A and B are shown apart, each in its own frame.
Chain A
Amino acid sequence: GAVVSQHPSRVICKSGTSVKIECRSLDFQATTMFWYRQFPKQSLMLMATSNEGSKATYEQGVEKDKFLINHASLTLSTLTVTSAHPEDSSFYICSARSGGVNNSPLHFGNGTRLTVT
């Protein structure tokens, strides 16, 4: 089946530093990838939609200058948390559609547990 690989799985960083998270579709091409944030015991919160070759679409309330998204190829999207602060600590997870139609299944990466000290 379709596989989405996300790295790193865990990262601890100091306040003020930046962290890059990679999301790769291993056996399919993904023109669109979605980046989510999930707080403990809560649902998935969509942060932004990453479109290959164009600018990402950010959800209301998500700072685009803080959460930089780059989708340079059909198999790779990256999320960079810039100048991280403790409140950015969370579980970040990417996903992509394996099918070419908009109502096809969404496949998730394993997620990245970010801890900012």
Chain B
Amino acid sequence: GENVEQHPSTLSVQEGDSAVIKCTYSDSASNYFPWYKQELGKRPQLIIDIRSNVGEKKDQRIAVTLNKTAKHFSLHITETQPEDSAVYFCAAIDGDSNYQLIWGAGTKLIIKP
């Protein structure tokens, strides 16, 4: 089955700087990689996702890159703002297990004013 590792567990950046969160996965057959943002006490919300047929996807200040050879994908947030502070989870789909999502452990992103 799939295994997803996420780093770092906590990331503190100055407002306006960029933040990068990295994830690795183990199953080369995985073909879908979403990123979720979860604010304290609230549900995870999809912020961006990428499928294995592309290497990069961008949506305003957020981008995700995928390296299938190395089996890792990263979330990039540019020009960070205080409202970006949250916990971010990466995930990969597990084709062996009813296509459930296998989650990373999460990264707490802190934006310092």
Contact = CB atoms under 8 A, between A and B. Distances in A.
Interface of A: 32, 34, 42-44, 46, 49, 57, 93, 102-111, 113
Contacts of A105: 34, 46, 49
A106 B34 contact: yes
Interface string B77-96: 00000000000010001010
A43 B32 CA distance: 19
Contact of A103 (B93, B103, B105): B93
Contacts of A42: 105-106
Interface of B: 31-32, 34, 41-46, 49, 51, 89, 93, 95, 98-101, 103-106
B42 A110 contact: yes
A46 B100 contact: yes
Nearest to A111: B43
A68 to B, nearest CB: 19
A103 B103 CA distance: 14
Given A108-B43, A110-B43, A43 B49 contact: no
Contacts of A110: 42-43
A70 to B, nearest CB: 18
A49 B42 contact: no
Given A43-B106, A49-B98, A57-B98, A108 B93 contact: no
A24 to B, nearest CB: 14
B103 A43 contact: yes
B103 A44 contact: yes
The 9 closest A-B pairs by CB, nearest first: A103-B32, A102-B99, A108-B43, A43-B103, A43-B105, A43-B106, A110-B43, A44-B103, A105-B46
28 contacts: A32-B98, A34-B101, A42-B105, A42-B106, A43-B89, A43-B103, A43-B104, A44-B44, A44-B89, A44-B103, A93-B43, A102-B32, A102-B93, A102-B95, A103-B31, A103-B51, A103-B93, A105-B34, A105-B46, A106-B34, A106-B46, A107-B46, A108-B44, A108-B45, A110-B43, A111-B42, A111-B43, A113-B41
